[in-house]
């Protein structure tokens, strides 16, 4: 097949037919489905991170502190 810069409708139809043939539908094993379901249903609940470590909250706190420092520095009394 020669590589060309563009595809005709016939090229697309041919490629799509080949792809449909290649990707045959596959089905997982029944044992796998059942085992994985059991493992999922009995998986230990993952604890949510404590609120103090919420990155958004931490970022907000850091920004607030920086703003306070900047404001104090800006409005400082001249010596």
Closer Cβ to other proteins, 30 or 52, answer by number:
30
Q: Which residues contact 58 (CB under 8 A, 6 or more apart)?
A: 52
Per rule CB under 8 A, count of chain residues that contact other proteins: 33
CB 50 within 8 A of CB 58: no
Alpha helices, DSSP H only, in the chain? 9-22, 30-41, 55-74
Interface positions, 45-64, toward other proteins (CB under 8 A): 46, 48
Asked whether position 77 contacts other proteins by CB under 8 A, the answer is no
Contact map string, positions 2 to 41, toward other proteins, x by CB under 8 A:
xxxxxx---xx--xx-xxxxxxxxxxxx--xx--xx-xxx
């Amino acid at each position: 097949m020669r590589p060309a810069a563009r595809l005709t409708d016939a090229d697309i139809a041919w490629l799509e037919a080949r792809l449909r043939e290649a990707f045959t539908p596959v089905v997982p094993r029944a044992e796998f489905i059942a085992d994985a379901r059991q493992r999922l249903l009995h998986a230990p609940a993952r604890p949510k991170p404590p609120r103090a470590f919420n990155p958004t909250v931490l970022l907000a706190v850091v920004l607030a502190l920086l703003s306070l420092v900047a404001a104090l520095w800006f409005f400082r009394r001249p010596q």
